[in-house]
Structure 1
Amino acid sequence: MSVGRALAVIPARGGSRRIPRKNIRLFAGRPILAWPIKAALESGLFATVMVSTEDEEIAQVAREAGAETPFLRSLDTADDQSALLDVLAEVVGTYRAQGDRFETVCCLLPTATLVTAERLRTGHDMFATGAFDSVFPVTRFPAPIQRALRRDDQGMISMFQPEHYSSRSQDLEPAYHDAGQFYWMSDQTCLDRTPTFSGRAGSFVLDETEVQDIDTEVDWRLAELKHQLLHPGER
């Protein structure tokens, strides 16, 4: 399929609760938001790289990193209950109302510190050449999910799937989870708010060293270690 003009949208609201001001906190010498902006710009894929935020300080940091902030996010999509697709629909709809049309949208998460221009191109090429509604990277669970354990309030353990008690790990089907970095989709998918994992969702696999969700201080330190491993000396 032809992907046409591409828009990068980085949603970065100001109200992070678990790590205050997470989206502009310094990470490896730069505001964390600057890393996905850098990858998007270096990829050469986008007509526009924009940050969607309701926060003036975040908007200023985004502009200093090279992104655009042509309009602020509405308060309706600025709280922690707003779905990502609601944000994307608002952005695409606002651009259309202003007479600007993008056929393809890539949503990059603001804390995707390990994302690279190369991986963005991989996703772009897969979306452009395959029959997919969306494309995003995944990574393998480090242990078989079929042997997952539950733990009660007293510390007692039981298996979610006890039938796999004697199964060898190498005999179980591998499972994957969303890498939490970016999602390629069409502008109409955004406007229709089509769930990313529904329909014809395509994926490609990243190594564990390339993936780190950041919700806690421990996550933050792990992300820094992985960043140093992948980009020694880069700031």
Structure 2
Amino acid sequence: MIAIVPARGGSKGLPGKNIKNLFGKPMIAYTIEEALKSKYITEVVISTDCKEIEKVAIKYGAKSPFLRPEYLATDSAKAIDNYIYTIDRLNKEFAYDIKDFVLLQPTSPLRTVEDIDKSIELFKDKNADSVVSYTEEHHPIEWHKYITEDGKFENIFEEKLLNRQEIKKSYFPNGAVFVFDYELIMQGKYYSDNSYAYIMPRNRSVDVDTLEDFRYIEFLLQERSNY
């Protein structure tokens, strides 16, 4: 199975985050290295519009048959359109025969090869259309509110006064691992009635979007190195 690592150059929240030095190596290296340890992944392909990212990714073992076009690297571009573009070109121009694939975002550097392999095994065992990594939400979603421009509360859900223990657990996607059947992606979907969640712990579920996220991951990696 092939792994695709999408990493555009124009990050707004934390400029240059994909190749920013994280505890001694570029952040993207963590994703590529774990993917290459997988017993199921045969190749890691970087999908980027940035030659600097491409160079770093190749150094750590990824392949880059082509650069992503600019129109698929804007803030308004849909990620799913890039996946379709990438796989379509690999199949038609480079003699690949991709029917399913793993997507690994470089902004989840704490995910391990175990997470990758177990997600793929779940995908295969269930003959699934997709498997997406999730983590437990520690605060009930029923507590969430919209806040109006003048600072007032606006309900998202029907208001029920329940104790925390009475509320069913909920989970949210952590962005770490996606395993897709290409036919599902071609329909413009990530989920079907035959999709499953791979549950990850919170300490491996940090997705880097801001400098604060990045510093928190540095702290967790430091803690990990102490054991």
TM-score strictly above 0.5: yes
Q: Deviations over 1:60-92 (max 9, x none)?
A: 000111111111112221212222211111111
Match of 1:135 among 125, 131, 137: 131
Identity %: 27
Give the equivalent residue in structure 2 for 1:228. Answer: 222
What amino acid does structure 1 have at the position aligned with 2:49? E
Whether the 8 Å contact between 2:32 and 2:62 is mirrored in structure 1 is yes
Q: Tell me how far 1:148 sits from its aligned partner.
A: 2.1
Match of 2:114 among 101, 118, 142: 118
Give the equivalent residue in structure 1 for 2:195. Answer: 201
Q: Deviations over 1:101-147 (max 9, x none)?
A: 12321010011111110010110000001042100110111111112
Measure, in 1, the Cα distance between the counterparts of 2:102 and 2:13.
Answer: 26
Asked if 1:62 corresponds to 2:86, the answer is no
**CA RMSD, Structure 1 to Structure 2 (Å):** 1.9
Whether the 8 Å contact between 1:85 and 1:193 is mirrored in structure 2 is no
Extract structure 1 runs of 4+ deviating beyond 6 A: none
* 1:1-235 aligned within 5 A: 6-98=1-93, 99-157=95-153, 160-161=156-157, 163-165=159-161, 167-190=162-185, 192-229=186-223, 231-232=224-225
Whether the 8 Å contact between 1:140 and 1:174 is mirrored in structure 2 is yes
Structure-2-length-normalised TM-score: 0.92
What amino acid does structure 2 have at the position aligned with 1:62? A
Structure-1-length-normalised TM-score: 0.89
The secondary structure found in structure 2 opposite 1:173 is coil
Aligned residues: 226
Structure 1 residues without counterparts, runs of 5 or longer: 1-5
What amino acid does structure 2 have at the position aligned with 1:215? D
Structure 2 residues without counterparts, runs of 5 or longer: none
Whether the 8 Å contact between 2:134 and 2:200 is mirrored in structure 1 is yes
